[in-house]
Amino acid sequence: MLDVKNLQVAYGESEIISQLSFSVARKETLAIMGRNGMGKTTLMKALIGILKCRQGSVQVDGLDVAKFDSFKRVDSGLAYVPQGRQIFPTLSVEDNIRTGLVTVGKRKIDDWVYTLFPVLKEMRRRRGGNLSGGQQQQLAIARALVSEPKVLLLDEPTEGIQPSIIQDIARMLNELKKLRDITIVVSEQVLSFTLEIADRILVMEGGRFVHEDLRANVDEAKIHQYLAV
């Protein structure tokens, strides 16, 4: 479903990711793990098009989107939940969700959104900026989901979120995988959360993948070692 080949991303002269290739099967959940500064967020930003891909291809369901602007990538089936949520603070919760509906050309928010995120229904008239961190995270995920993506990109969804909400998010994602035909790429540092949702784990260091494990036979000790500072 998502095929990345020889991807190269750089900030000016400093190359963060060089010659990175990986692919994610349909309905698979891939977790990309690694310490801070190893290139996870850079990879995510390059996939959604906030950063330019200098070289290589990013295929979504067979279509190469590497040269597209962000909005066209969303139209081609990608959706993005950024690190730090980045909801629109002065827009109401409803309006935040509606921004995701632009791509599909709808105005009305479907009921399943509020079924999946009951807290957003209570808060729907509030401004996004006045929500708590956990609520904002759910809002950011809802905003991404309403554009009906084939591939959902989640960048460190547990960062700065209290443990009980992390549990909720994991449960919600597993529910979502059952309900919908969706492929997920998630970057993470929290192994327990990752093990609850991921089918496969890649460990990233210095812009390259250095370790791969299926969840079925994951070597927790080894991954912990990679994540240790």
Partner 1 sequence: MPLILATSFAELKDIFLMQGFAGFSLFAVFLLMALGLAIIFGQMKVINMAHGEFLTVGAYVTVFLSHMVVNHAPKLLPYYFPAAIVCAFVVAFILGYIVEIGLVKYLYNRPLDTLLATWGLSMILQQACRSLFGAREDTATLPEWMMGSWSPSEGLDIPINGMFLLALAIVMVLLVYALMYRSRWGLKVRATMQNRAMAGAVGINTKRVDRVTFALGCGLAGIAGAAFTTIGSVSPSAGSLYIVDTFIVVVFGGAASLLGTVLSAFTIAQSQSILEFFLTGVLAKIFVLVGVIILLMIRPQGLIASKVRR
The footprint of partner 1 (CB under 8 A) covers 48-50, 69-71, 74-75, 79-80, 82, 86, 88-91, 95, 98-100, 102-103, 107, 127, 129-130, 143-144, 147
CB of 225 to partner 1, least distance (A): 33
Q: Closer to partner 1 by CB, 95 or 199: give it.
A: 95
Task: Return the ∠ at Cα 188 (arms to 213 and 161), rounded to 5°.
Answer: 145
CB nearer to partner 1: pick between 74 and 123: 74
Helix (H, G, I), strand (E, B) or coil at 225: helix
Residues contacting residue 93 through CB under 8 Å, at least 6 positions apart: 120, 123, 124, 125, 126, 127, 128, 131, 139
Least distance to partner 1, CB of residue 90, Å:
5
CB of 213 to partner 1, least distance (A): 29
Q: Which is nearer to partner 1, 18 or 70 (CB)?
A: 70
Q: At its nearest, how many Å lie between partner 1 and the CB of residue 199? A: 25
Identity of the residue, 145 or 198, whose beta carbon is nearer to partner 1 in the bound complex: 145
Nearer to partner 1, 139 or 201 (CB): 139
Nearest to partner 1 of 24, 48 (CB atom):
48
DSSP 5-44: EEEEEEETTEEEEEEEEEEE-TT-EEEEE--TTSSHHHHH
> Is 10 or 44 the residue whose CB approaches partner 1 more closely?
44
C-alpha distance from residue 190 to each of 36, 62, 120, 158 (Å): 12, 31, 25, 8
- Residue 99 CB, nearest approach to partner 1 (Å): 5
* Residue 144: both structure tokens together: 């991404």
| Rounded Cα gap, residues 104 and 192, in angstroms | 35
Asked if residues 119 and 164 have their Cβ atoms less than 8 Å apart, the reply is no
- Cα–Cα distance for residue pair 87/133, rounded to 1 Å: 10
SS3 state of residue 55: strand
How far is Cα 202 from Cα 39, in angstroms, rounded to an integer? 13
Write down the least CB distance from residue 215 to partner 1, Å: 28
Question: In the complex, what is the shortest distance from the CB of residue 184 to partner 1, in angstroms, rounded to a whole number?
Answer: 16
